[in-house]
Amino acid sequence: MKAVCWMGTHKIETQTVPDPELVNPHDAIIKITKTAICGSDLHLYDGFIPTMESGDIMGHEFMGIVEEVGKDVTNLKRGDRVVVPFTIACGNCLFCKKKLWAACDNTNPNAHLMEAAYGYSGSGLFGYSHMMGGYAGGQAQYARVPFANVGPLKIESDLPDEKVLFLSDIFPTGYQAAENAQILPGDTVAVWGCGPVGQFAIASAFMLGAGRVIAIDRLPERLALARSLGAVTVDYSENDTDVLTALKDLTGGIGPDSCIDAVGLEGHSTELQGVYDKIKTAVMLETDRPVVLRQAIQAIRKGGTVSVPGVYGGLLDKVPFGAAFGKGITMKMGQTNMHSYMKPLLERIEQNQIDPSYIISHRITLDQAPDMYKVWRDKKENVTKIVIDPWA
Amino acid sequence: MSALNEKPNAETLPASSGGAILQDGHYLAPPEDADGKVWVRTTALVQGTPQDLYALWRQVEKAPLWQEHVEEVVVTGVNTSTWTMKYGEKVHTSNSQILADEPGKRIAWSSVDTDPHEAGEVIFEPATGDRGTFVILLMEFRRGKLAAAWESLLGRSPKQRVIEDLRHFKAFAETGEIPHSQTAPHGDRGLIGGMKRSLYGENVPTPAGAVAR
């Protein structure tokens, strides 16, 4: 089959690789009909997430048709149409029973690698480094899906792929971000980063009763999408615009009730701290650039909630913990507990409350993927979201 | 206390079991390596009753399904068995005997007349709050420092192997299978990719757990 492979930092190639096979009794083989490039794939492209091996198949947002199932998969059969969540969960461990699916104990074959860095391992993920399982990803024509009796969501209506594909990651991730923000009716919510997750966080914040959502970014196409959802926007790249001042101005001086960092470890800043982070990451004294996290902790109102769906990988420097303590804030974060959100959000799509396909800007083939990684990283061509048809 | 540092032994729980974590409410640290003996103690919280998990562990002939490097186990008596281990191309056979067998609570065993010597003990304790069972595993090896270093270089240290085996046991008991990704399709690994696999312990084959079809 054809697959998009990571061959080193800034090196992505479309290669011909062997087809996946059933290995375990709860496996399914999925013929992929649509897949996408996620913002977090850029952390692999840019070499920020360790333990990638050359040849690894990229991609964790995908859907398709069930081709074959292992002997213990009872709820799926050949021909079923499914969306696959990017986190893999066993359904039987203590954490799955607590619905903390992303913390599953049993799905990471390389748990010891993550334990060395994090103390404990979370669940395995598709196509996202060997520390997180070493599973082949979904930017390919087929994928093996472990624990298929727990993960994939069956699509029984005739909704087009593009409306349901984002249930595989970014829609639930944006929704969990809004849920983690502990929004009460009428609250003001600030969202840093108007990429796909930021967009769904904005839409979800409104669904959960936010009175005002403030969207922060620098790219006109993204800010326009945010305004189309009803958000007010702050373009931090404009002359004289200071984000903290803007947030105070827009909240009567008290700050947002909730702040959502939908940017994560590769945040940019033109200020001194941007230079500082660049130098520190270059000499490996820091692994992440926590520009937005610093700003969110400063901006949040006293007693407010900071929610972090943006991916952080390692060790951060100069995070204002004194401010976090002094204001008595709450912080909630983590990989998405996908399995809790997919079905309820599918219902919202079916009821026409939202059409997630509005964020798609590019539709490409597997062969075009290597070039599009660069376009996506550099935010050229007004890119907002790239969807791949593996059979085109 | 001396018994704790001596060997996994046949005395009753909990006061003097080598693998015990608590004694009279006091936390006991794991034994320390000394005199060519390598100790490793690891624990897992496993969903299931102590009785069921004990029964799974006691079926030694099933060990190849969840223990790394184990090719075959032949039961030779009520408390004895013969183990065939495979390390790459090297095949190694050893005899094992069970020293203590308390259904639903504890098993202790030791190798017989084989080099290198190994002994172990597993304890099954109900966890608080209906959370399942604490499975506590203590193993003792005899290895020179060089031998242990050599094994680590080739794949896993003996200590990490014990940790991985309990992890496999937990997955096998909770889900009926063990997660696998070593056979995942991929593009050209190249030299660096191949070196990383060895570094990450991915060259040690994951036990089968179960078959797919």
Helix (H) or strand (E) segment spanning residue A361? none
Q: Contacts from A232-238 at CB under 8 Å and sequence distance 24+?
A: A233/A194, A237/A270
CB within 8 Å of chain B, chain A residues 5-64: 5, 7, 13, 15, 17-27, 51, 53-57
Asked if A24's CB is within 8 angstroms of B190's CB, the reply is no
Residue B1 has pLDDT above 60, yes or no: no
Closest listed residue to residue A137, CA positions, set A264, A11, A52, A23: A52
Looking at this predicted complex, what is its ipTM? 0.92
Residue B6 has pLDDT above 70, yes or no: no
What backbone phi and psi angles, to 5 degrees, belong to B87?
Answer: -115, 100
Q: Binning pLDDT at 50, 70 and 90, where does residue B45 land?
A: very high
Pairwise CA distance, residues A142 & A114, whole Å: 27
Asked if A3's CB is within 8 angstroms of B185's CB, the reply is yes
Beta pairing class for A188-192 and A258-261:
parallel
Pairwise CA distance, residues B100 & A234, whole Å: 70
The answer to whether B133 and B126 are in contact (CB under 8 A) is: yes
Residue B157 has pLDDT above 90, yes or no: no
Averaged pLDDT score across all residues of chain A = 96
Residue B9 has pLDDT above 50, yes or no: no
- Interface size between A and B, measured as CB pairs under 8 A: 143
Helix (H) or strand (E) segment spanning residue B80? strand B80-87
Q: Summarize pLDDT for A310-334 with one digit per residue, the tens.
A: 999 999 999 999 999 999 999 999 9
Residue A70: list chain B partners with CB under 8 A.
212-213
Residue B14 has pLDDT above 80, yes or no: no
Residue B155 has pLDDT above 80, yes or no: no
Q: What is the pLDDT of residue B203?
A: 87
The answer to whether A70 and A25 are in contact (CB under 8 A) is: yes
Residue A60 is encoded by which pair of tokens? 């964790």
Beta pairing class for A212-217 and A142-145:
unpaired
Cα separation values, B91 from B70, B87, B114, Å? 10, 6, 14
Q: What is the pLDDT of residue A268?
A: 86
pTM of the predicted structure, to 2 decimals: 0.93
The number of residues in chain B equals 213
Q: Summarize pLDDT for A332-352 with one digit per residue, the tens.
A: 999 999 999 999 999 999 999
Q: Summarize pLDDT for B71-127 with one digit per residue, the tens.
A: 999 999 999 999 999 888 889 899 999 999 999 999 999 999 777 788 999 999 999
Helix (H) or strand (E) segment spanning residue A81? strand A81-84
Residue A262 has pLDDT above 60, yes or no: yes
Q: What is the pLDDT of residue B13?
A: 39
Pairwise CA distance, residues A300 & A295, whole Å: 9
Residue B2 has pLDDT above 50, yes or no: no
Q: What is the pLDDT of residue B154?
A: 66
- For residue A276, the tally of other CB atoms under 10 A from its CB is 16
Q: Summarize pLDDT for B182-192 with one digit per residue, the tens.
A: 999 999 999 99
Question: With an 8 Å Cβ cutoff, is B193 touching chain A?
Answer: yes
Closest listed residue to residue A12, CA positions, set A46, A36, A62, A38: A46
Write the DSSP symbol of residue A56.
Answer: E
- Amino acid letter for position B98: I
Question: With an 8 Å Cβ cutoff, is A256 touching chain B?
Answer: no
Asked if B160's CB is within 8 angstroms of A70's CB, the reply is no
Place of tokens 């506590």: B136
Residue B82 is encoded by which pair of tokens? 């013969």
Residue A149 has pLDDT above 50, yes or no: yes
Averaged pLDDT score across all residues of chain B = 87
Residue A75 has pLDDT above 80, yes or no: yes
Question: With an 8 Å Cβ cutoff, is A151 touching chain B?
Answer: no
